[in-house]
Structure 1
């Protein structure tokens, strides 16, 4: 059974869970148990920002938030993250 967002926060449990399926980032809202395809996401230092369908802006997950490390590990496995980790010389020679 899903818990309310404030119950998750009070218990120190993560609000969001991420996974990759068919090269897409899927995000589960643990307060509702609903899963969505992220429409946008970025990692800026110790902050993950992501958007879900219908959002008017970005949601924020800080390094101090429960579940941050697990969420970031999933993002680090996305095709875009893997592409960004290649050295510039490899990109240039592939062209």
Structure 2
């Protein structure tokens, strides 16, 4: 996990808005949480997460919808968790394994 980019994605056709921070900094031992504010109902639609490690191509992590079992790419299943906040209308990704100080 060295300088990676994370992106939340919506596959709908309605021109919805997804907003996430430009960067997130964590210290060793902290869990990284990236929140994506969305303009659609997180209980009605799936949202996918994609990452791009430095110098590499895009990699799909998985998708999530409130009330349904999240789906993770098999090789990444133990490295990420998805969550949500119905009050904030947001979805979250938690990076579980952080070996060193990182900038995302």
The TM-score bracket by the shorter chain reads: under 0.3
TM-score by length of 2: 0.25
* More strand as a share of residues: 2
Larger relative contact order (Cα-Cα within 8 Å, sequence gap ≥ 6): 2
TM-score by length of 1: 0.27
